[in-house]
């Protein structure tokens, strides 16, 4: 881009107005800004040149001189090259507004703020029984997490004398450097933005300020919690670094298998064994309840396998005090397999009534075992 023609550098016509120059410069400066082109020497050179061009063209006095005599004309008494504010005509805040603030923010945090880091989130899987999910439960959760070192209170330094003001940034946490007539600021490389350096590290944590520790906390799991539900314990995760906030602890709830009930959202399903004669004749069957105890339900004569009966509001609790779900009692017909001789007799009589021939060998078998 090496050219001394300031108009060409900015890509504007010689009669361009102030606004046009401003907007052209803004575009170019953003394109070649060192923060956007790290390690690119050419971009840096271009950036310097367009700064120089804008410095002149944005100032009506200088522009006049430049228009008449060229860059040479400004070398004599054109005014020294100042930093910010050296030229009344060039109001950089006006040109860039918040855009440059964004660029700086990308470059590393806010001015003078230590670069704190939030602690990591942790995940824990909690196994509970269906009864615990029904009643709600407080469970102890034991895990390892990073905590602030108790010895040094997280500073990483041995006592108050273990730190000193950072000599590079003099405690500010940021350092400035100039480029053209811009002053840039970045986190201090010596102290990482802390403003302090540790001269004598804490023995307990080796200067880290944090250490892993086994902890046990009680976590309340609300009644009605569902399989796979995730509870958040705010601030229960790893401690933050350099004064950063703690991470969160996430508890994923797993329900243990239950010997009687399957869960279907707020309903519970109970597979109820019913003897074949009971199903045929009808009667009462005994059903367990999640809250403990049992209840009896009536089944009509001729109940089929798989038929489901609903017991209202004997399921899991609803969220926020909503009514309980239902208990679904699903009939599972049990065909007897170890018949007593008498039962066998009755069944074959039933079979005869229904027009079924009992096989010959079966008859022989009956005779044998019945001693006939
Ligand atoms: Zn320590
Ligand atoms: Zn420093």
pLDDT along the chain (372 residues), means of 10: 76 90 86 80 85 86 82 56 34 45 40 67 95 95 92 86 88 81 80 86 88 92 92 93 88 95 95 95 96 96 97 90 93 93 93 75 54 46
Between the CA of 242 and the centroid of ligand 1 the distance, in Å, is 12
Between the CA of 161 and the centroid of ligand 1 the distance, in Å, is 14
Between the CA of 198 and the centroid of ligand 1 the distance, in Å, is 11
What pLDDT score does 120 carry? 93
Between the CA of 250 and the centroid of ligand 1 the distance, in Å, is 27
Between the CA of 195 and the centroid of ligand 1 the distance, in Å, is 18
Query: Which ligand sits nearest to residue 147's alpha carbon?
Result: 1
Mean pLDDT of all residues belonging to the chain? 82
What pLDDT score does 193 carry? 82
Whose CA is closest to 288, among 307, 309, 272, 277? 272
Query: Which ligand sits nearest to residue 206's alpha carbon?
Result: 1
Identify whether the C-beta of residue 32 lies closer than 8 Å to the C-beta of residue 10: no
What pLDDT score does 68 carry? 79
Between the CA of 119 and the centroid of ligand 1 the distance, in Å, is 17
Query: Which ligand sits nearest to residue 149's alpha carbon?
Result: 1
116 burial level (CB within 10 Å; 0-12, 13-18, 19+): middle
What pLDDT score does 74 carry? 72
What pLDDT score does 359 carry? 61
Phi, psi for 200 (deg, rounded to 5): -135, 100
- The phi-psi region of residue 300 (left if phi > 0; otherwise alpha if psi is between -120 and 50; otherwise beta) is beta
Show the tokens assigned to 149. Answer: 């070192």
| Euclidean distance between CA atoms 371 and 284, whole angstroms | 36
Show the tokens assigned to 260. Answer: 């009687």
Between the CA of 200 and the centroid of ligand 2 the distance, in Å, is 17
What pLDDT score does 244 carry? 85
Between the CA of 160 and the centroid of ligand 1 the distance, in Å, is 12
265 burial level (CB within 10 Å; 0-12, 13-18, 19+): exposed
For 227-242, b where at least 16 C-beta lie within 10 A, e where not — what string? eebebebeebbbbbbb
Whose CA is closest to 266, among 328, 315, 319? 315
Between the CA of 117 and the centroid of ligand 2 the distance, in Å, is 17
Over residues 287-346, the pLDDT tens digits come to 999 999 999 999 999 999 999 999 999 999 987 778 999 999 999 999 988 999 999 999
| Euclidean distance between CA atoms 251 and 142, whole angstroms | 11
Show the tokens assigned to 141. Answer: 């959760």
Query: Which ligand sits nearest to residue 202's alpha carbon?
Result: 1
Between the CA of 194 and the centroid of ligand 2 the distance, in Å, is 6
| Euclidean distance between CA atoms 206 and 249, whole angstroms | 26
- 103 HSE (CA, 13 A, CB side): 17
Query: Which ligand sits nearest to residue 176's alpha carbon?
Result: 2
Between the CA of 112 and the centroid of ligand 2 the distance, in Å, is 10
| Euclidean distance between CA atoms 268 and 252, whole angstroms | 21
Query: Which ligand sits nearest to residue 165's alpha carbon?
Result: 2
Between the CA of 68 and the centroid of ligand 2 the distance, in Å, is 48
Looking at residue 86, the DSSP 8-state letter turns out to be S
| Euclidean distance between CA atoms 320 and 354, whole angstroms | 55
């Amino acid at each position: 881009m090496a050219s001394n023609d300031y108009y060409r550098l900015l890509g504007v016509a010689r009669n361009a107005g102030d606004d046009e120059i401003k907007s052209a410069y803004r575009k170019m400066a953003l394109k070649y800004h060192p923060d956007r082109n790290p390690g690119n020497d050419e971009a840096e050179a271009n950036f310097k040149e367009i700064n120089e061009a804008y410095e002149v063209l944005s100032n009506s006095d200088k522009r006049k001189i430049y228009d008449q005599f060229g860059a040479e004309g400004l070398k004599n008494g054109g005014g020294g090259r100042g930093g910010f504010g050296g030229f009344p005509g060039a109001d950089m805040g006006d040109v860039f507004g918040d855009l440059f603030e964004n660029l700086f923010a990308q470059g590393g945090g806010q001015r003078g703020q230590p670069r704190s880091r939030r602690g990591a989130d942790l995940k824990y899987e909690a196994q509970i029984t269906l009864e615990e999910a029904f009643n709600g439960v407080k469970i102890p959760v034991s895990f390892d997490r990073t905590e602030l070192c108790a010895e040094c209170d997280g500073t990483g330094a041995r006592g108050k004398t273990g730190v000193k003001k950072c000599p590079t940034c003099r405690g500010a946490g940021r350092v400035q450097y100039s480029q053209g007539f811009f002053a840039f600021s970045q986190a201090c490389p010596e102290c990482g933005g802390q403003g302090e350096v540790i001269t004598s590290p804490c023995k307990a944590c080796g200067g880290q300020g944090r250490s892993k520790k086994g902890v046990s906390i009680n976590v309340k799991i609300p009644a009605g919690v569902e399989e796979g539900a995730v509870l958040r314990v705010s601030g229960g995760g790893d401690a933050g670094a350099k004064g950063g906030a703690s991470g969160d602890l996430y508890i994923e709830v797993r329900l243990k298998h239950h010997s009687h009930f399957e869960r279907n959202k707020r309903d519970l399903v109970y597979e109820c064994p019913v003897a074949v004669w009971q199903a045929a004749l009808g009667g009462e069957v005994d059903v367990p309840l999640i809250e403990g105890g049992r209840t009896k339900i009536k089944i009509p004569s001729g109940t089929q396998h798989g038929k489901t009966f609903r017991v209202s509001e004997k399921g899991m609790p609803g969220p926020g005090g909503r009514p309980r779900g239902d208990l679904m009692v699903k009939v599972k017909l049990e065909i007897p397999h170890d018949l007593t001789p008498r039962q066998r007799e009755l069944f074959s009589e039933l079979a005869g009534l229904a027009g079924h021939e009992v096989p010959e060998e079966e008859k022989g078998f009956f005779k044998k075992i019945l001693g006939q």
